[in-house]
Amino acid sequence: MYQQEHVVQYYETDRMGITHHSNYVRWMEEARVGFLKDIGWDYAKLESSGIISPVTEVECNYKKSTTFEELVVIQVSVAEFKGVRLKLNYKMFNDQDELVCQASSEHCFLNGDGKLVRLKKDYPDFYQAIMEQLDEN
């Protein structure tokens, strides 16, 4: 499991001082980028290898509000991976260790022509790096 911290910024809040819901999706993206870097496949490496990874689905279940300057810890884990689609789970906690958001995102992998990439065959090292994360869960 990968873990990343984020401090809520003033611009991420609304007039009531509560984090706007759209920011949680941004934090998921930041954590996903960190997760991929952590397993040795940062975006520069993916893109130079000819791989793009669009989001195909996002789901968020908001449990508790966060506010300006609050620390949010984002945990990322591989929920499902079958070689073509990757589903990641996210759990976000405040500094009192309370669950504030539980979410998931799903991604596929495409080449420069927009065709699906079969990672096991075409990028076995990347495939193995993800599989190792799945085995940890």
Domain limits of the chain?
2-136
Instruction: Quote the pTM value.
Output: 0.93
CA atoms lying within 13 Å on the CB side of residue 45: 11
Q: Of all residues in the chain, what percent are helix, strand and coil, respectively (each to 5)? A: 30, 35, 30
Going by the DSSP 8-state scheme, the letter that residue 8 receives in this structure is P
CATH 3.30.300.130 assigned to domain 2-136? The reply is no
Those residues whose C-beta lies under 8 Å from the C-beta of residue 46, and which sit 6 or more positions away, are: 36, 52, 53, 126
pLDDT in tens, 112-121: 888 999 899 9
Most confident option among 27-31, 118-122, 132-136 = 27-31
pLDDT in tens, 12-27: 999 999 999 999 999 9
